[in-house]
Structure 1
């Protein structure tokens, strides 16, 4: 399934590029030159999430942002499972196709596990990490587990597919007042039908379903990436990845870390504080 939507060039001022992965045709952008940064989005977002950060960084960095299959402008391929492990495989294929070396992994939400899964397999090619409001270990809090179970239930899955619940009631509700009407439509129009929303419907089920991968990352990330320079940015009003529950372990995971606390930001941090994040990335990795 192909998404028939062309982003507004004023809001998303990038050239769309395409890569035929083993899973299907995926969309990505590749802007600027310098140290590569691989932007890995979460759910129910796409590379549009990082547009303001990329605009600020592309004069100093090579910014590569992917849309996983089932997200953004990428295909919704038949037979694809939309699991975190599959997204990591496809993202890794793009990294190898582009020959990225000494690259920085940037991940928020599910972009953290996906990006670190790519990075652990290519640790010698990774310069550093930028991670925010995410984890790279199995979820442990009662609220996260409950959210996963509730959103995986048949009634909620129907609402995700039929009503675009994750976009309307979580993403856009949090960002009310932060996004223009046109920006909000860029999140809606890439999920225009129940058939187009299968990918985002799988993500809540992966909170528990991705446990084998997350258990592996809990060991491999500290072992293979733990000494890499890391920037940890955190929306301190995020109820999903609460700072007290996540930041201490993140600090322990990366010995050479800096922390950017964003007191007024919620879960979708790149929409709340793009300028401050871009400044911190430039200061850390320029």
Structure 2
């Protein structure tokens, strides 16, 4: 009996040691995975503010909280378990799903670029007799939240899939720990930064009040003046990141293009910054072309529906 108890304690001790070692490895895996999904994180951060701009300023943080909460729940309750199940029962399906998500990002990115250059075609007054849908601020807020969560779902699925791919060979306990840690960390980081962005103009207005020091008021006015330009630049960055990330995901799912990207990086290994720029530019152009092709196919399909 004593021998059996000692053997059991040895097994428990060994299990605890393995678990502790896995826990020690989790931060390194989280940092590594966060680096891999940085493009998607930039995209998510750049895209989200547009869903808040134009709404009641007093509701901005509440709206961001709603989106962040749904984003985290989607990652933890739906996407992470789905990735683990797919990894166990159908690991071959992960790459095609990633590529479908990448194709969607290219499509969305192309539509944004197209709308930038064809904006003048849609500006101006409504045509005579055209009905204009009138909705309440509450309805508009719900629509914005739904739109943001829908876009975030795609980006979150990409983040979760890439996270799983980076820990697929690790023990199950470590897979779960890393995926949960990445989900929480990225959600807090993205939406915390988005909150700072959308409230920056309010902070600037507070600094610009007459009872503040002259230099403080000047800084506040500069913040208020700069923020609209910053949001516009952020929109461009988000669109570029969408095309770049989408195309790179697809490229890595195709052996020929994956080898071509690896060869490009290897040929410029002595100039990593230049390699990154050329790779991002190539992926961005490729994503734009692919997005245009997908858009034509979608328009063609709609004619038969």
Do these two structures clear the TM 0.5 threshold for a shared fold by scoring above it? Answer: no
User: Normalization by structure 1: what TM-score?
Assistant: 0.27
More strand by share: 1
Larger Rg: 2
More helix by share: 2
Does 1 or 2 have the higher relative contact order (CA < 8 Å, sep 6+)? 2
User: Normalization by structure 2: what TM-score?
Assistant: 0.26
